Structure 1
Amino acid sequence: MINTIASNPRLIRVTYVLLLIVSYFTIYNTIFDEKVSLVGDNASYYILGNSIANGDGYTNIQHSEKEAHYHYPPGYPVVIAAVVKVFSNDIITIKKLNGAFLLGAILLLFFIVKRLTENDHIAFSVSFITLLNYYILGYATIMMSEIPFLFFSLLCVLVFLKIDFSKPIFKNWLFFLLLICLSFSFYIRSVALALFVSMVCFLCFKKQWRYVVGLIGGFIVLYLPWMLRNSDAGNTYVSQLFLKNPYQPEQGSIGFSDLIERISINFGRYITKEIPSGMLSSNEVVYTDASAPITEWLLGFLLIIGIVFGIYKLQKFRTFILLYVLAFFALLMIWPYIWYGTRFLVPLIPLLIFLFIFGMISLLKWLQEKIIPKQLKHFTTITTVVLLSFWAFMYGSNSVSKLKDRAKGDYGDNYKNYFALADWVNKNADDASITAVRKEGLFYLFSKKNVTTYQKTLDKEAQLAYLKNKNVDYVVVEQLGFSSTSKYLVPVIDRYPNKFKTIKQLQNPNTYLMQFLPELGYSGAWKDGKRNGYGTYVWEDGQKYIGYWKNDVRHGEGAVSFATGERLEGVWTDGKLNGEVIKKTKNDVIIERSIYKNNVKIEVINEAN
């Protein structure tokens, strides 16, 4: 039986594919996580997909304005919308779709490696180890675009490798399939630009000018509708790309020196953190300001050397693979370094694993030819099997174990509180209510009520005006591990405590749902953080003061109105009434004139009859 399989290449290939499929279902069912991911993007994709499926267009249905959406490209939401229309909007169903994309990506990778190396064994080894990758498996269980993009980008690579560029363009159906897949990949993630650039450069290198024109022209035509739709709004990703810090826009745009610093930081981080972690580790990367130890640099460079050697030893499409890797990393180098994490490397991890394994096998073959005695003719095969088996067992078992534990785990207390407040809003708030929150997509999934974010501005008055303009009813103060709430929202609450009434408070950690009452409390001029100048103060019982302030207290001419409609007009000194005070009805009829001293009426000058 074994000899029959070994002597039949097609049977070997079918056996390997079946092994990959069986392994996928076994592993994926073990690590599948039914919980909603805490990555805010996944909720946004789900919301946009439902917006399309429900006939609301590509809009932010979580907002009261239901305005058009421009930030995320529509590729992955379109996929979600298709699932919603055909099956259901159940989140678990959509998560499992990403699992199906993972299986497709693994099989595509098998055939890509087979085409590049003409070796089924290497193709299986690379595909199986990739299937065990901690990050790829993890992203296959959440509603994010990484795995769908991985599938379509690998499909583009496989189609590109199969195209016969000696054929006329209009008789080459694979080329038109490539155009569609490449454009759709770009609609999923902008990093597909690396694929496009590498393919164009490769065709230029091969002097396939008609295909160059066809690829560029077809890509522009297919992407033009999205470009035209976004022409007025601008490309939000591009605008964020050129900010020093997309999460702190007040820092402004980058200059040339900032760009050099960004490239330097990204280069060091990818060498010491992202590449080793993405290929070999199942531990979450820890980022610190401290310099990376020499061991991390050494490991990173050893992996790079192995990858480069793997590219060098390729006999087919070496130039294209090199161009794709370089173009991908060129984009990552200019990425804002605040956008850190292995997630940005996920689409390239399978290719890096392949190149490293192929480089390692090529090195072992060279050692056998040059150094190892001829009697050890099976040195390369045995050593390769041992090393790959050790890699698959040690790394794979750890990845599966960690992801399995994560699937069984619960949300942290900070997110439990956050979702509990969303549930309170769902059950108690008016359907038209609006809540200002840090992660609006996640809050909307649990509250089913309108949400908005707050402005990323240090200007307290601008923040207050924004909340008023958005007709916000509630705000949430949480501890989700981000600094923006405490940086941008809390200072406004501290300045205007009477405008924010605590409705519900949860502890460990302290999490607040506050009703926003813009008409209450102080509104007016400030100086050095204190009320100074002309302003108004409104109490909950309907009492209102309109007049002048100094050093945070009433000082100067002013008037107090009561819920009954009556009004006192006078002069305040350091927060107390002093001098002549006139009391009037709501119709402006004088009731009495009196003298006050330190807020106490000491004499009535004239009392109306």
Structure 2
Amino acid sequence: MKKFIKQNKAFVYFIIFYSILLIFSIDNDPKNFANHAYHLEKAKLMSDGNGYSSIGIDGIVPESSITKFFFAFMISGVLKLFGNSFFYPRLFVAILSILSLILMYFIFEKRLSKKKRLLLISLTALNFHYFTYSGFVETEIPYIFFTFICIYLFDLYLKKEKISIIFFIGIFTVFTYLTRFIGMSLFIAILLHLILNKTKKKLDFEIIKSNLKNTVFYGIISSIILIIWSIRNKILGIGGIASNYLSPWMIFTPDWNTEKTYEISIIPIILKIIINIVGYLYFLPNLIFNGILSLKLNNFAHTVLESNNKLNFIINQDLNFLIYLGFYFFISFILISIIFFGYFNQIKKKITIIETYLFFNVAILMLYSDRVPRFLVALIPLIIYYLIKGMDKLIKNKIISKKIVSIFYIFLIIFSILSVFKITYEYKTNTEYDPNMKDFFDMALWANENIDSNSIILTNGKIGLAFFTNLIELPIRTIENSSELFKYIDDNNVNYIIVDSLENMEWVHNWKYRTKKNIIPTINKHPENFKEVHKIENTILYEYDKNKK
């Protein structure tokens, strides 16, 4: 240990610096919801002895899908030890983030020089998105952690060729796809490498036999949980093990709010791939440059999604903005070209588990019917890795000077540090805690103390009421008119509605407009059915009376 510290002082000092900064940024405020609430609720149910379940208007119901089970299981252990808290689950994820960086240092030992490894880890750790998700109760960081354990173990297996290592690779592969379903891409990559191991050097019966034995063993270890889960679902009489995650591959554009489905045909699949390519090209500069180029564009993108005539909306934009948009895509094209250059240059030398894993991961993303920046968060270390490899190749081929690349890296690190310090400051001063969001949570806490605990509340998005209150929430769906809304709330026995002001928030999600579009017009049109119970600024709690219709 002393020898390692002495030889890698810069890395050790950086990890200490990063750990202090990250842990200092974590707090106990319930400022994040949606998927955070999903994981915390399920973890709480597990820690209370209810198994992997969900809670809603039908009470506690066993969850059929196995995806994300392991993350909820880990967080349930944290809640069991420390009680209901937002701080400790966030701290747990932060620790996995730190451990992931340490794993990276060893994984890339023979792939990059010491200086380049430190650069890779610095750019990853200080990346706005990686740092932010390191303090979220989300699956991205745990997924990265388990993926890197598998890659590290696979590299170790190639050296020692012990079947016991394959056993542990199989176990940790299970952890990857039970944390994020896209972990199946790693499962496929490892299977392929086990089958083809040593076949380039020498192809004989003994090698094929050994490879098949190891592949079958790995396949059994890494998939036995799926068999057990299928039996569990059969006994409970519930659905498939991953149906809610498989369905988006079967349709062109999923509408998560109206449950519409679309017929399968080849043209929509091709269109889907093209749209995904454009979408991820759009996200790439934001991912690497920590938002420096894309704050205005981020709001533009979501406004396009809200527009009825998307093409007209884009065409009618200010000329200066369209030039800026073109420049943005030009930067994206340069970045993706350098990354591809680094990736294919590595393939020419040797295809390792990392190249194969990245290929299948991206292939799955291209076929998925939704595209959001967070899907790329789990790939940040590899995107930066191939960016560095691409830059190295450009320098070697004298396409670009070493001085320019060094300036680029210095600029990126400085801006990354400033971004991370900004996040830490805002978390600690609560300046990033949007007042509209705070009012939303404060209203939920007030309702918990002042209304019947058996009440069902209609809310904008999943905010995890069951985690920090005794109330049951029903998320608002996209509803076309008042009669549909009345049917929805009557069918689900809704007692109260929280009318929020989330559309005033600076950052945007599509669901934030649901209240403005679907709820407020109905309340204004039928005031006799809605009685104001409590108001916090622009956030109002209404009691619903269906008998006055």
TM range (shorter): 0.7 to 0.9
Q: Name the residue aligned to 1:330.
A: 363
Residues 183-241 of structure 1, C-alpha deviations (whole Å, 9 max, x = no match): 11101111112212222233344453333333333322123333444573241122345
Structure 1 letter corresponding to 2:170: L
| Segments ≥4 residues shifted beyond 6 Å | none
Say whether 1:196 aligns with 2:187: yes
Partners of 2:20 and 2:68 lie apart in 1 by 33
Pick the structure with greater CA Rg: 1
Q: 1:250 to 1:164 in 2, by over 3 A?
A: closer
Residues 157-181 of structure 1, C-alpha deviations (whole Å, 9 max, x = no match): 21122213884xxx52211111111
Partners of 1:115 and 1:201 lie apart in 2 by 22
CA offset at residue 41 of structure 1? 0.8
Give the strand-richer structure, 1 or 2.
Answer: 1
Correspondences of 1:205-354 after superposition (within 5 Å): 205-206=196-197, 207=199, 208-229=211-232, 232-234=238-240, 235-243=243-251, 244-249=253-258, 251-253=260-262, 255-256=264-265, 257-271=267-281, 273-283=282-292, 284=295, 286=298, 287-288=300-301, 289=304, 290=314, 293-314=325-346, 318-337=351-370, 339-340=371-372, 342-354=373-385
Residues 243-266 of structure 1, C-alpha deviations (whole Å, 9 max, x = no match): 523334354325433332222121
Partners of 2:328 and 2:263 lie apart in 1 by 29
Say whether 1:58 aligns with 2:52: yes
CA offset at residue 470 of structure 1? 3.1
Partners of 2:63 and 2:350 lie apart in 1 by 39
CA offset at residue 385 of structure 1? 5.5
Partners of 1:146 and 1:325 lie apart in 2 by 15
Partners of 2:484 and 2:411 lie apart in 1 by 58
CA offset at residue 426 of structure 1? 1.2
What is the SS of the residue equivalent to 2:59?
Answer: coil
TM-score of the superposition, structure 1-length normalised? Answer: 0.73
* Alignment root-mean-square deviation, CA: 3.1
Q: Name the residue aligned to 2:71.
A: 76
> Is contact 1:276–1:300 with CA below 8 Å preserved after alignment?
yes
> Is contact 1:47–1:62 with CA below 8 Å preserved after alignment?
no
Q: 1:14 to 1:487 in 2, by over 3 A?
A: same
Partners of 1:353 and 1:209 lie apart in 2 by 34
Q: 1:239 to 1:317 in 2, by over 3 A?
A: same
Give the helix-richer structure, 1 or 2.
Answer: 2
CA offset at residue 136 of structure 1? 0.4
Q: 1:494 to 1:282 in 2, by over 3 A?
A: closer
Partners of 2:250 and 2:220 lie apart in 1 by 27
CA offset at residue 495 of structure 1? 6.4
Give the one of 168, 173, 178 matched to 2:169.
Answer: 178
Structure 1 residue runs of 5 or longer lacking an equivalent are 1-7, 373-378, 523-609
TM-score of the superposition, structure 2-length normalised? Answer: 0.81
What is the SS of the residue equivalent to 1:515?
Answer: strand
Aligned length: 495
Partners of 1:410 and 1:348 lie apart in 2 by 26
What is the SS of the residue equivalent to 1:130?
Answer: helix
> Is contact 2:193–2:353 with CA below 8 Å preserved after alignment?
yes
Say whether 1:521 aligns with 2:548: yes
Structure 2 letter corresponding to 1:503: V
Residues 442-475 of structure 1, C-alpha deviations (whole Å, 9 max, x = no match): 4445543222235555475564344334332212
Correspondences of 1:66-105 after superposition (within 5 Å): 66-70=60-64, 73-105=68-100
Q: Name the residue aligned to 1:411.
A: 433
Q: Name the residue aligned to 1:395.
A: 416
Q: Name the residue aligned to 1:356.
A: 387
Partners of 2:414 and 2:24 lie apart in 1 by 16
Partners of 1:298 and 1:203 lie apart in 2 by 40
Residue identity over aligned pairs, in percent, reads 21
> Is contact 2:258–2:477 with CA below 8 Å preserved after alignment?
no
> Is contact 1:136–1:346 with CA below 8 Å preserved after alignment?
yes
